Amino acid sequence: MNHADHVQLLQDGIHISDGVWADIGSGRGAFTLALADLLDTSGTIISIDMDRSVLQAQQRLLQTHFPDLAVQYHVADFTQKLDLPPLDGVIMANALHFVQGKGSVLRLIHSYLKDTGRLILVEYDTDRGNRWVPYPLSYPTWERLATQHGFVCTRLMQTKPSSFLGQFYSACSEKGLLP
């Protein structure tokens, strides 16, 4: 996938362009960069990853391409409670498949979102993992998990082929009431 693919996977879920968004488990920042493309300069991105060196590389890249966009970088484990402001949205791309028991992470993400907040998930569309992608979740599995953890209006946005595990999908879920 390339940058245009990353943007396409996210764009249908970005409902405001000037909000505060977090990219949780941002890795090398491919989707952080796509999010930056979709926000205007009054928006804010909080990029969260456990690897300080990838966040430093992201910072250099984003400062070059989006010097007027406010970006904060947090070295943190997203499976633990994070100190975040109320978020308009969360991007979680190719990160949730590293978590076996996803419920506690989804409850945390739900708590970070404003009442009108959205979670955009990008994942491999399979329920069978391997050592590199240990706990992926297909879109039907995501629909069930999202509902179980207080998300509503879940919808499939895009799919993209992948040479690894078939295809990716992006889905958008809105914050609802916890069951």
The pLDDT averaged over each successive group of 10 residues in the chain (179 residues) is: 92 85 95 92 93 95 92 96 96 94 95 96 93 94 96 96 86 88
pTM listed for this prediction: 0.94
Domain total in the chain: 1
Decide if 118 contacts 88 (C-beta within 8 A): yes
Supply the pLDDT for residue 155.
97
Domain that holds residue 148: 3-175
CA–CA separation, 162 vs 62, rounded Å?
26
Supply the pLDDT for residue 159.
93
CATH code at position 166: 3.40.50.150
Sheet of 44-49: strands edge to edge? 70-75, 44-49, 20-24, 87-93, 113-124, 167-175, 151-161
Decide if 35 contacts 21 (C-beta within 8 A): yes
Supply the pLDDT for residue 179.
66
Supply the pLDDT for residue 18.
75
Decide if 25 contacts 120 (C-beta within 8 A): no
Decide if 94 contacts 126 (C-beta within 8 A): no
